[in-house]
């Protein structure tokens, strides 16, 4: 869907994230890493992709397209649609999101707090592109899955005690998946839910300057099959 | 895309329960899910205490009148019931509760429910009995009525064409309240006069996208036409 | 458009009402007498008729139609559409009305007060059909024209000091046309604007138990042409 | 139906004035009225102090960026400006005022303006800086933001097909904000890639009915494509 070489860490977290997507779901993919998710889904998983600029049934990227093509995704890239796709306007697009018909939003993040707050739209003075549809996706998708590298360039984990950046939405992240671990919000608090076989609990919490409890029973990383 | 085609029996048994709020499409006869309503009327013991949200009360003997006259309905929320004198009598005798809402606001309250808008403000009905008892808000020096959104448990609508995934299209004036009701309920049953392969409807021309729809069922003959 | 024999009084008031309709207008016709208006318009007047159940570009009645036809008007009668007609749902239909895109609503009335209040939807205990779209049409059309017999069956005029019936909308009627006279709301008060040549001012005010001023210059009843 | 076809010169000269609020369609490049914007940019002296309501700020060198860089715009109301780093600089330097609104609420505020709804209530943005300074209302124990409607003087949109009366249809993802903007302004100029005889569009499939439209003008070649 998107064009660039993925690192092995990215491949790892994308494969794990693909396991969160269930047959029949309506899914919105944020710009960036989430756009690589479709190629990691099992072939028999029927997922309907929502593009907030105005359609459901988004298919593959259109290599013959240009930014002037009649079908572009929310990031401005030409793409295709699958049979059964429907085009609509921005009203219907966000009615789907706010009305509870978007099963899953897969988003990137600058910070996720231990209470599930998400900051991914603004770095004051540095990055001020506007929230676009991000606040609604974060606040209203039935489940919000954040995928991200475990550590940022300065070695800090994405999971923080409290977001220092402006929030996209409070208490919205249901699941955070990195190349090392899966965290899930349970009773309003993120907890460690699964650890990649190459890591132990300690390294799954590396760079996280907060008290993160572990689930009573960790989920296996890989499918049993 | 999922294949959402099933029988009306399965769809109703799967989603409809006594005590629910049902939104029912139609204005006059166009858009009315006659087949689905007929089935619900044929199981009057099973589906009771319903709240119906429908533009009108149909004419005597067809559509929701079947449910009304059998006592399956505790409340009807509508805009105009003038074509059903029998229901007007029921209402005036207190047999069935009826709430009347101006037609465009009726549609807007449903849209708000579907679009995740908890309430809208409007001046429609100010200075009339419609405003009585309603909460108000002063905006820029003007008094406005606060109209909370409406949502339902199940939407029952009749489309002219649906594809197997549930994308739906309406002919002429049949669309009326059907699309907006299809956005505002937990479950949506689209009764379709014609069911086509997924992908056959032009993607730009779809009126109700499949992501809102749970079941597509074939519309039967119109009971009141005797065919 | 509608089928019944019109009385000569009805023909008179319809012909006069037709003069209020201007080229290019978007017009909604209430059920009943207003539905006979189109046949009295000059052939070169391009008017777009709005039907609140979901379209603009309403044409003639469809004699081959039934109440089960795919195109019915708001009264349930089968009708045709003209080239350029557009079908939509109830939301768009009333967005047109409330948003200021309906130039003229032609309505019937039980009562019109001297301040332009309209009562035409309910007679408590007798007639309780619901307001349908009537309140929005009355309150939000850019101009509301009421057409009506001058006197009711008991010899009372439509114009009353104060409506005794539940209001459809307050201070909404711009023009009232009967077979005897035209009344217009000026500075919040209905005044006599034109008198049919067969009547004098006194009979133009017959049955009206209220002080109704006359315009400084009465309009001619007929077109000059 | 009226024939509303005219030249872009006539339409702009007839309806657009300095100091107005213009709603401009488009998300990315689809739906952007490049021809109309180009004309307005070519008369930078004539059209100034504009408030633009547009989803995004286009890319540098095309669309509304032409107006932004020439100082014709005093304020932009948008949802996302990430593709125009030059405008971000203008905004951060205080050269142009910019108000950012969550995308769906941006659309809803415009819809409310077009549909005669003075305000809506929403929970979108609660707990974020979007909520700062906004009026709130308690509904059923929940705090909601009050979002007043937005209206404009003139809407400029680009449709794929329009008929001579002004009925318009959009291809693919080009529709975005165009339809709703076309309902919310005193005047509406539809720039169309193709203009057909009135009656050629299927009446059920029209996205923006002609009653909202004041002028239909032919879209020229895309300036940024060099054709």
pLDDT, tens only, B27-49: 999 999 999 999 999 999 999 99
Calculate how close chain A gets to B210, using CA atoms only, in Å. Answer: 8
pLDDT at B225 over 90: no
For residue D1, being part of any structural domain is answered with no
Backbone angles phi, psi at D178, to 5 degrees: -65, -45
Positions of chain C with pLDDT under 50: 1
Distance CA A31, CA D55 (A): 17
Confidence class for position B117, pLDDT limits 50, 70, 90: very high
> What are C131-185's pLDDT values in tens digits?
999 999 999 999 999 999 999 889 999 999 999 999 999 999 999 999 999 999 9
Calculate how close chain B gets to D169, using CA atoms only, in Å. Answer: 9
For residue B94, being part of any structural domain is answered with yes
Distance CA D220, CA D227 (A): 9
Q: Which of A94, A132, A167 sits opposite D127 (nearest CB)?
A: A167
A186 in contact with B, Cβ within 8 Å: no
Q: What is the pLDDT of residue D224?
A: 77
Distance CA B123, CA B106 (A): 14
Subunits adjacent to chain B (3 or more Cβ pairs under 8 Å): A, C, D
A134 dihedral zone (left: phi>0; alpha: psi -120 to 50; beta): alpha
Q: What is the pLDDT of residue A108?
A: 97
A48 in contact with B, Cβ within 8 Å: yes
Q: With contact defined as beta carbons under 8 Å apart, do C62 and C78 qualify?
A: yes
Q: For chain C, what is the largest distance between any 2 Cα atoms, rounded to a whole number of angstroms?
A: 52
* Mean model confidence pLDDT for chain A: 95
Q: Which residues in chain D are contacts of A168 at CB distance < 8 A?
A: 128
Which residue, among B112, B99, B197, has the nearest Cα to B146 in the 3D structure? B112
Indicate which CATH number applies to the domain containing B161: 3.40.1080.10
Task: Name the burial class of residue B221, with classes exposed (0-12), middle (13-18) and buried (19+) by CB atoms within 10 angstroms of its CB.
Answer: exposed
Instruction: State whether C89 and B180 contact (CB < 8 Å).
Output: yes
Which residue, among D65, D72, D21, has the nearest Cα to D45 in the 3D structure? D72
Q: In this complex, how many residue pairs, one in chain C and one in chain D, have their CB atoms less than 8 Å apart?
A: 64
Q: With contact defined as beta carbons under 8 Å apart, do A171 and A139 qualify?
A: no
Confidence class for position B226, pLDDT limits 50, 70, 90: low
A19 three-class SS: coil
First to last CA, chain D: 34
Q: In this complex, how many residue pairs, one in chain B and one in chain D, have their CB atoms less than 8 Å apart?
A: 70
Closest CA in chain C for residue D185: C99
DSSP string across chain D: ----B--HHHHHHHH--TT-EEEE--BTTBT--HHHHHHHHHTTTTS-SEEEEESB--STTSTTHHHHHTT-EEEEEESB-TT-HHHHHHHHTTSSEEEE--HHHHHHHHHHHHTT--EEEE-TTTTSGGGTT--EEEETTEEEEEEE---EEEEEEEEEEEETT--EE--GGG-TTHHHHHHSEEEEEEEEEEEE-TT-S-GGG-SB-GGG-SEEEE----GGGT-
Closest CA in chain B for residue C163: B128
Instruction: Determine the distance from the C-alpha atom of residue B154 to the mean position of all C-alpha atoms in its chain, rounded to a whole number.
Output: 9
A128 in contact with D, Cβ within 8 Å: yes
Q: With contact defined as beta carbons under 8 Å apart, do D148 and D186 qualify?
A: no
Q: Which residues of A155-182 are buried (b: 16+ CB within 10 A; e: fewer)?
A: eebbbbeebebbbbbbbbbbbbbbbbbb
Instruction: State whether A76 and D83 contact (CB < 8 Å).
Output: yes
Q: Which residues touch C197 (CB under 8 Å, ≥6 apart)? A: C221, C222
C161 in contact with D, Cβ within 8 Å: no
B14 in contact with D, Cβ within 8 Å: no
For the whole model, what pTM was predicted?
A: 0.97
Residues paired with D157 in a beta bridge: D190
Instruction: State whether A96 and B211 contact (CB < 8 Å).
Output: yes
- Other beta carbons within 10 angstroms of residue B133's beta carbon come to 6
Confidence class for position D45, pLDDT limits 50, 70, 90: very high
Q: Which residues in chain B are contacts of A85 at CB distance < 8 A?
A: 203
Q: Which residues touch C108 (CB under 8 Å, ≥6 apart)? A: C30, C31, C32, C33, C34, C120, C146, C147, C148
> What are D21-30's pLDDT values in tens digits?
999 999 999 9
For residue B125, being part of any structural domain is answered with no
Q: Which of B28, B130, B177 sits opposite C76 (nearest CB)?
A: B28
Write out the H or E segment, with its range, that includes residue A97.
Answer: helix A90-98
Distance CA D71, CA D68 (A): 5
Q: What is the pLDDT of residue D38?
A: 97
Closest CA in chain D for residue B119: D121
Instruction: State whether B176 and C89 contact (CB < 8 Å).
Output: yes
Task: Name the burial class of residue D45, with classes exposed (0-12), middle (13-18) and buried (19+) by CB atoms within 10 angstroms of its CB.
Answer: exposed
Instruction: Determine the distance from the C-alpha atom of residue C72 to the mean position of all C-alpha atoms in its chain, rounded to a whole number.
Output: 20
Distance CA A173, CA C198 (A): 78
pLDDT at B133 over 60: yes
Domain extent, residue B198, equals 8-120+148-218
Calculate how close chain C gets to B127, using CA atoms only, in Å. Answer: 6
Q: Per mean pLDDT, which range of C152-161, D39-48, D64-73 is the poorest?
A: C152-161
Calculate how close chain B gets to C104, using CA atoms only, in Å. Answer: 17
Residues paired with D195 in a beta bridge: D162
Distance CA A67, CA A61 (A): 12
Torsion sign over Cα A5, A7, A10, A16: positive
For strand B185-196 and strand B152-163, is the pairing parallel, antiparallel, or unpaired? parallel
For strand A159-160 and strand A111-113, is the pairing parallel, antiparallel, or unpaired? parallel
D223 in contact with A, Cβ within 8 Å: no
B209 in contact with A, Cβ within 8 Å: yes
Distance CA A40, CA B19 (A): 44
Q: With contact defined as beta carbons under 8 Å apart, do B156 and B36 qualify?
A: yes
Which residue, among D192, D200, D189, D125, has the nearest Cα to D152 in the 3D structure? D189
Helix pair B103-114, C90-98: axis angle to 10 deg: 120
- Other beta carbons within 10 angstroms of residue A82's beta carbon come to 19
Subunits adjacent to chain A (3 or more Cβ pairs under 8 Å): B, D
Q: With contact defined as beta carbons under 8 Å apart, do D166 and C56 qualify?
A: no
Closest CA in chain D for residue B137: D137
Calculate how close chain B gets to A24, using CA atoms only, in Å. Answer: 7
Distance CA C138, CA B82 (A): 19
ipTM of model:
0.97
Q: Which of B117, B170, B203 sits opposite D108 (nearest CB)?
A: B117
Which residue, among D13, D18, D21, has the nearest Cα to D186 in the 3D structure? D21
B15 in contact with D, Cβ within 8 Å: no
> What are D172-185's pLDDT values in tens digits?
999 999 999 999 99
- Other beta carbons within 10 angstroms of residue C171's beta carbon come to 16
Instruction: State whether D120 and B121 contact (CB < 8 Å).
Output: yes
* Mean model confidence pLDDT for chain B: 97
D184 in contact with C, Cβ within 8 Å: yes
pLDDT at A1 over 50: no
Distance CA C53, CA B28 (A): 9
Distance CA C137, CA B130 (A): 15
Instruction: State whether B144 and D205 contact (CB < 8 Å).
Output: no
Find residues 56-75 of chain B whose CB sits inside 8 Å of chain C.
56
Closest CA in chain B for residue C117: B127
In the sheet with D119-122, reading across from the earlier edge strand, the strands are: B136-139, B142-148, B119-122, D119-122, D142-148, D136-139
Q: Which residues in chain A are contacts of D62 at CB distance < 8 A?
A: none
Instruction: State whether D119 and B108 contact (CB < 8 Å).
Output: no
Distance CA A133, CA C70 (A): 38
For residue D54, being part of any structural domain is answered with yes
C96 in contact with D, Cβ within 8 Å: yes
Confidence class for position D222, pLDDT limits 50, 70, 90: confident
Which residue, among A18, A71, A5, has the nearest Cα to A45 in the 3D structure? A18
pLDDT at A63 over 80: yes
Mean pLDDT of D201-217: 98
Distance CA D177, CA A133 (A): 13
A28 in contact with D, Cβ within 8 Å: no
For residue D42, being part of any structural domain is answered with yes
Which residue, among B30, B31, B71, has the nearest Cα to B52 in the 3D structure? B71
For strand C175-177 and strand C144-147, is the pairing parallel, antiparallel, or unpaired? parallel
CA angle D86, D106, D67 (to 5 degrees): 35
Calculate how close chain A gets to B193, using CA atoms only, in Å. Answer: 18
Which residue, among B177, B178, B173, has the nearest Cα to B159 in the 3D structure? B178
Q: What is the pLDDT of residue A222?
A: 85
- Other beta carbons within 10 angstroms of residue B59's beta carbon come to 18
> What are B153-196's pLDDT values in tens digits?
999 999 999 999 999 999 999 999 999 999 999 999 999 999 99
For residue D128, being part of any structural domain is answered with no
For residue B200, being part of any structural domain is answered with yes
B28 in contact with C, Cβ within 8 Å: yes
The residues of C assigned a catalytic role are 52
Q: Which residues in chain D are contacts of C55 at CB distance < 8 A?
A: 203
Q: Which of C69, C132, C169 sits opposite B79 (nearest CB)?
A: C132
Instruction: State whether D55 and A90 contact (CB < 8 Å).
Output: yes
Distance CA B11, CA B20 (A): 15
- Give the total number of structural domains in chain B: 1
Which residue, among C155, C161, C192, C186, has the nearest Cα to C173 in the 3D structure? C186
Q: Taking the domain C8-213, which CATH number applies?
A: 3.40.1080.10
Write out the H or E segment, with its range, that includes residue C181.
Answer: strand C181-186
Closest CA in chain B for residue A87: B204
Backbone angles phi, psi at A186, to 5 degrees: -125, 125
Q: Which of D103, D129, D173 sits opposite A133 (nearest CB)?
A: D103
Q: With contact defined as beta carbons under 8 Å apart, do D181 and D213 qualify?
A: no
- Other beta carbons within 10 angstroms of residue D20's beta carbon come to 18
Instruction: State whether B27 and C170 contact (CB < 8 Å).
Output: no
């Amino acid at each position: 869907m998107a064009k660039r070489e993925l690192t092995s860490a990215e491949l790892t977290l994308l494969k794990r994230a693909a396991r969160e997507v269930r047959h029949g779901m309506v899914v919105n993919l944020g710009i960036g890493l989430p756009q690589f998710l479709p190629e990691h889904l099992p072939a028999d998983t029927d997922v309907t992709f929502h593009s907030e600029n105005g359609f459901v049934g988004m298919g593959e990227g259109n290599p013959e397209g240009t930014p002037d093509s009649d079908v572009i995704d929310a990031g401005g890239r030409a793409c295709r649609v699958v049979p059964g796709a429907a085009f609509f306007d921005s009203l219907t697009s966000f009615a789907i999101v706010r009305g509870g018909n978007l099963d899953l939003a897969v988003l990137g993040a600058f910070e996720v707090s231990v209470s599930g707050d998400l900051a991914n739209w603004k770095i004051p003075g540095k990055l001020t592109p506007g929230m676009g549809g991000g606040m609604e996706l974060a606040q209203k998708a039935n489940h919000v899955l954040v995928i991200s590298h475990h550590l940022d360039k300065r070695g800090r984990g994405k999971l923080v005690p409290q977001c220092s950046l402006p929030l996209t939405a409070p208490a919205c992240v249901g699941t955070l998946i990195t190349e090392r671990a899966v965290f899930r919000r349970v009773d309003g608090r993120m907890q460690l839910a699964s650890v990649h076989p190459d890591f132990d609990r300690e390294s799954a919490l590396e760079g996280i300057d907060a008290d993160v409890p572990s689930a009573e029973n960790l989920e296996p990383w890989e499918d049993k099959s | 895309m999922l294949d959402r085609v099933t029988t009306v029996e399965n769809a109703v048994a799967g989603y409809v329960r006594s005590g629910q709020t049902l939104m029912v499409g139609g204005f006059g006869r166009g858009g009315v899910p006659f087949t689905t309503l007929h089935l619900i009327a044929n199981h009057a013991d099973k589906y009771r205490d319903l709240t119906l949200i429908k533009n009108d009360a149909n004419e005597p003997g067809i559509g929701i009148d079947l449910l009304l006259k059998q006592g399956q309905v505790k409340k009807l929320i509508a805009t105009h019931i003038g074509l059903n004198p029998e229901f007007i009598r029921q209402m005036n005798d207190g047999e069935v509760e009826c709430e009347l809402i101006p037609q465009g606001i009726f549609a807007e309250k449903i849209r708000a429910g579907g679009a995740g808008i908890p309430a809208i403000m409007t001046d429609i009905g100010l200075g009339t009995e419609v405003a009585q008892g309603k909460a108000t808000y002063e905006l820029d020096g003007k008094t406005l009525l606060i109209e909370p959104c409406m949502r339902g448990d199940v939407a029952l609508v009749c489309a002219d064409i649906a594809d197997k995934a549930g994308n739906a299209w309406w002919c002429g004036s049949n669309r009326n309240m059907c699309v907006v009701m299809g956005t505002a309920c937990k479950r949506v049953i689209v009764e379709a006069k014609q069911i086509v392969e997924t992908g056959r409807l032009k993607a730009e021309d779809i009126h109700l996208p499949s992501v809102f729809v749970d079941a597509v069922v074939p519309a039967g003959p119109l009971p009141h036409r005797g065919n």
